[in-house]
Amino acid sequence: MAAKKTKGPEFLRFVAPIIDTLKELGNSGTAGEVTERVIERCKISDAELEATTSNGQSRVRNQIAWARFYLAKAGLLDASHRGVWAHTERWSGPGTEPSRAPE
Cα–Cα distance measured from residue 20 to residue 41, given in angstroms and rounded to the nearest whole number: 9
pLDDT at residue 82, as a whole number: 84
- The answer on pLDDT for 58 being more than 50 is yes
pLDDT band at 101 (very low <50, low <70, confident <90, very high): very low
Please report, for the chain, the start and end positions of each structural domain, with discontinuous segments joined by +. Answer: 10-48+55-87
- Residue 10 phi/psi, 5-degree rounding, is -70, -25
CATH 1.10.10 for the 10-48+55-87 domain, yes or no: yes
Count how many Cα atoms sit within 13 Å of the Cα of residue 29 in the half-sphere of its side chain: 19
Where does the pLDDT of residue 8 fall: very low under 50, low under 70, confident under 90, or very high at 90 and above? confident
